[in-house]
Each structure stands twice: as C-alpha cells, then as structure tokens.
C-alpha cells in the first residue's frame, strides 16, 4: 500500500502556444498534457522515489487515458482512481502573459474530476500511509470530494500520520471567504502548510506572510513552508524562520512548480532530513519544474535533481 497519498482532481491541460494570446480569440494551442495540482504533486513525488497513491476520477475517454498512462508509467498506485463512463475528463485551458501571469478556463465541477467518493478507495488502501497531501483547489469541486478529503485527513491524522495542505487558492472557482471555510477542517489536523505569500495572507486574513505563518503555527501547524518563487522559500516553525536560497533557471512554464516543490519537501521530511536539507531539495525541484513546457513535463528523477544542485554549486548537504 502507498506510503504517501493525495486525493483530488486529475485533468488535462491545453495551453496557448504563444504568450499574450487571450482565450477569447482564435490562436494556437498545445496539449493535452496530464495535469491537476494533486496529480502533478503525486507524479513528482513518485519520480523522486516515493511510494505514492492517487485518489481521483477521470472519464472513460482519450483524455482519461492520457492521464492514467502518464501516472502508471511514472510508478503511481492507481487502484483508487475511478473511471466515470458518462462524464468527460476534466479540462483546463491556459493562456500566458508576457509578465508571467496566466489566465485559466476550467471545465472541472461538471467533469469526472469532481466525482470522487470514499467508496472508490479499496479496503486497507491507507494501511501503510504515513502522509496525506491535500490541495485547496480539490476542496472546491464537489461535496463528495470535500467529504472524502475530510474523512481521509481525519483517518491519517488519527493514526499518527502527517497531513499537509497546499492552499492552492482559486478565487475563480469559489469566493475567498468560502475557500477559507472549507480549508478549516483540514487545517485543524494539518502538520504542514505550503502556501505562496498571497495565499498565506488570503487564507489567514493577515497583512503579511509573517503574521499569517504565526497564526497558523498558533493553531497547531508545525511547519509553514512559504514559497517565494525566484526568492526561494522560508520555512517557519515555532522556533525559527529559516530562509532557503533559490536556484537560478530560465523559466519556460511555471505551471506545476509549486506542486513539485511540495512533493520534494514532503519526500525529504519523510526521509528524516533536516529542514534546511529538505528545503534546499524542494527549491531545486521547484526551479527545475519551470524549465519545461507542460505541467508534468517538469518532474525529474532524484539523481537528476542532485546533478542539477551540484552544477549550481549548491549540492545537497
């Protein structure tokens, strides 16, 4: 049974082939690419050597085959993925701007991705699970998805496992106040929270990331891993704020970089590494994720990450 499990949306992503081509006019696309924040996370963790299970749903269509073939090829346990005959696999259309920002058009709540249920998980599937990772975007898709996540979070936490949350806030899917409310039950049992700066202040209603981290630590979270893009990251515990230096790369596509960072940090923590070592590894994996077009195309094997870190003069301690 998998040691690390995530539950959430699996979809395909179809992207503009050029920047500054909005989605309201004809222009070229590339794809489909397997995607969905939890699926990217799971794929990245598996390629880094973790034993990973994914709980999700796809349609019985070519896009569903696209997702499943990729996850299976990278070694994920797909026994808890449901195939839905009368719904399309989830789709996201993405446009990029020259300033690095993106716009999305989602076909998710009406797709197979939303139809995740507790009953699809095989008996005993969590028997060896040491960690459960949750994305805030997954909590927005449906009542059944949300209740499944809550149940798994309580189960893993109750057995002494680690629960982690990436807020991955999507205001285009749900208003902010509602997003805060649906994240609360996961935060109640979370050990690790992995936000960006804007997500951290939005999630907590604070003015600065430092205040947001302090609030989460005060409610029982043990580690807040603040993702800061080109500035690296900062790991907050009750004892310290630990800055982790960045790696320099030429960005091609930022999609999935935060999910890959999450995977690397949690793989490092599960291995018993120090915070600094796990954070440095996560920064390297997140940086590498931006160097290839496509959300899962920027996932790498562990030996490749080590070689990259060595080439940048900042090897793993």
Distance of CA 104 to the CA centre of its chain: 17
Number of Cβ within a 10 Å radius of residue 316: 15
- State the residue range of the domain holding 134: 4-311
In this prediction, what percent of the chain has a pLDDT beyond 70?
A: 99
Instruction: Return the bridge partners of 244, or none.
Output: 233
pLDDT band at residue 172, thresholds of 50, 70 and 90?
A: low
pTM of the shown model: 0.94
Q: Please report whether residue 27 resides in a domain.
A: yes
Residue 291 lies in a domain: yes
Selection from 137, 99, 126 nearest residue 10 by Cα? 137
Residue 91 pLDDT level (bands cut at 50, 70, 90):
very high
Q: What is the mean pLDDT of residues 212-235?
A: 96
- The 10s digit of each residue's pLDDT in 21-57 is 999 999 999 999 999 999 999 999 999 999 999 999 9
Confidence at residue 101, expressed as pLDDT on a 0 to 100 scale: 81
Domain-embedded: residue 115 = yes
CATH number, domain with residue 269: 3.40.1190.20
SS3 56: strand
Provide the 10 A C-beta neighbour count for residue 110: 11
Q: Is residue 317 part of a domain?
A: no
Q: Is 48 within a domain?
A: yes
Q: 262 in a domain, yes or no?
A: yes
| Domains contained in the chain, number | 1
Return the SS3 of 160. Answer: coil
Q: Give the pLDDT confidence score for residue 89 in this predicted structure.
A: 98
- Residue 152 inside a domain? The answer is yes
Cα–Cα distance, 87 to 50 (Å, whole number) = 31
What is the length of the chain? 317
Note whether residue 316 is domain-resident: no
197: left (phi over 0), alpha (psi -120 to 50) or beta: alpha
Report the pLDDT value the prediction gives residue 104, as an integer from 0 to 100.
87
Query: What pLDDT score does 136 carry?
Result: 93
Q: Please list, residue by residue across 217-238, b when 16 or more beta carbons sit within 10 angstroms of its beta carbon and e when fewer do.
A: beeebebbbbbebeebbbbbee
The percent of residues above 90 in pLDDT, for the chain, comes to 86
Report the candidate in 64, 68, 81, 69 with the shortest Cα–Cα distance to residue 6.
81
Statement: residue 232 has pLDDT above 90: yes
């Amino acid at each position: 049974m998998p040691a690390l499990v995530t539950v959430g949306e699996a979809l395909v992503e179809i992207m503009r082939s050029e920047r500054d081509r909005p989605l309201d006019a004809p222009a070229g696309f590339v794809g489909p690419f397997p995607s969905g924040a939890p699926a990217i996370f799971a794929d990245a963790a598996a390629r880094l050597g973790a034993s990973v299970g994914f709980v999700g749903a796809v349609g019985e269509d070519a896009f569903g085959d696209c997702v499943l073939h990729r996850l299976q090829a990278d070694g994920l346990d797909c026994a808890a993925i449901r195939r839905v005959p009368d719904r399309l696999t989830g789709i996201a259309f993405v446009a990029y701007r020259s300033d690095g920002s993106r716009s999305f058009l989602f076909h998710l709540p009406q797709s197979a991705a939303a139809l995740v249920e507790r009953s699809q998980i095989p008996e005993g599937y969590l028997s060896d699970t040491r960690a459960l990772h949750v994305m805030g975007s997954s909590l927005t898709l449906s009542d059944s998805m949300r209740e499944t996540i809550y149940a798994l979070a309580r189960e893993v936490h109750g057995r002494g496992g680690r629960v982690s949350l990436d807020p991955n806030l999507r205001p285009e899917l749900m208003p902010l106040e509602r997003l805060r409310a649906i994240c609360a039950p996961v935060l109640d049992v979370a050990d690790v929270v992995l936000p960006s700066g804007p997500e951290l202040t939005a999630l907590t209603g604070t003015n600065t990331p430092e205040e947001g981290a302090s609030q989460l630590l005060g409610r029982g979270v043990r580690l807040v891993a603040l993702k800061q893009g080109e500035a690296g990251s900062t790991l907050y515990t009750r004892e310290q704020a630990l800055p982790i230096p960045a790696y320099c790369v030429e960005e091609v596509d930022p999609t999935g970089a935060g999910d890959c960072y999450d995977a690397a940090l949690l793989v490092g923590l599960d291995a018993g590494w120090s915070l600094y070592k796990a954070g440095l590894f996560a920064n390297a994996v997140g940086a590498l994720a931006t160097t290839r077009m496509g959300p899962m195309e920027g996932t790498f094997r562990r030996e490749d990450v080590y070689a990259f870190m060595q080439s940048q003069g900042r090897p793993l301690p």
